[in-house]
Amino acid sequence: MRFKIIDDTRSFIYEIEGTKTISDLYEGIESKVGSKRFLFKGVPKCLVEKADCPIMETFTDLECIYAEASKEVKGPVETTVNTLTDENMVFSIFEVPSDNSCLFHSLSELLNAKSSSELRKMVANEILQHPKKFMSYIEKTPFEYSTWIVQPDIWGGATEITIISKIYSTKVTVIDNAQRLYEFGDEFRSVVYLSYSGSHYNAVVAKDRNGNVVRKFPCGDKSAEEKAKKVVQEFFRS
């Protein structure tokens, strides 16, 4: 079985036989990340305790597993501090192809997903696993939606942003060409930014003083938000 492991600000694919136990899964993931973790699944997150039952009885293939350092589920950050990030950080627009998958390309870049097609599959899988939670977001049956959204020529929008935000426990803020903000996932600690022209999404990224690319920012960081808005404004003016 293959799983998408979300570990704080990074993610990776982890493979293990479905007949192995949950305890084996814990051991393998902790060996990979180098420290103790608590494993969660679903939206909202539900702790999966160590056990000797087979993995396949608890998880499905390609499911997202959240590896947390604490049993406490992360909530929102509230802060009065306006400058949490490096003041010298330079923001830019990471442009993606205009091929009907721009939303998925952009969020794959920002959330370190394997690919836009894998991100589509994760959205479909989340709908199938939690149909009642997302019925208000979709106009199709869960099965119809799951077979529809994986098609590469289908556009993504607010529904898909909402679901992806929950999968990755990350707030997504969309900045349009009129500087309006559309926010998804206010309950989470980290935020990523997208630019939106009205028909096309791009990712907003930054580089710190050492040249490292930064994709996620603390919620409540007004400095990062203002810099993201400014670079989007400049992009649409150019």
Least confident of 86-90, 194-198, 217-221: 86-90
Q: What is the pLDDT of residue 226?
A: 95
Distance, CA of 152 to CA of 129 (rounded, Å): 22
Domain ranges of the chain: 2-68, 90-237
pLDDT of 161-179, one tens digit each? 999 999 999 999 999 999 9
With 80 as the cut, is the pLDDT of residue 124 above it? yes
Provide the CATH number for the domain formed by 90-237 in this structure. Answer: 3.90.70.80
pLDDT at 82: 36
pLDDT bucket at 126, cuts 50 / 70 / 90:
very high
Give residue 10's pLDDT.
65
Residue 203 has pLDDT above 80, yes or no: yes
Range 221-230 average pLDDT: 94
Q: What is the pLDDT of residue 8?
A: 63
Instruction: Please tell me the predicted confidence (pLDDT) of residue 83.
Output: 39
Distance of CA 122 to the CA centre of its chain: 10
Q: Provide the pLDDT for residue 172.
A: 97
* Fold entry, domain 2-68: Ubiquitin-like (UB roll) (3.10.20)
What is the mean predicted confidence (pLDDT) over 118-138? 90
Between helix 116-129 and helix 102-111 the angle, nearest 10°, is: 90
- The C-alpha atoms of residue 202 and residue 102 are separated, in whole angstroms, by 7
Does the structure show a pLDDT above 90 at 136?
A: no
Annotate 113-169 with DSSP letters as a single string.
-S-HHHHHHHHHHHHHH-HHHHTTT-SS-HHHHHHHHTSTTS---HHHHHHHHHHHT
Q: Taking 90 as the threshold, does the pLDDT of residue 17 lie above it? A: yes
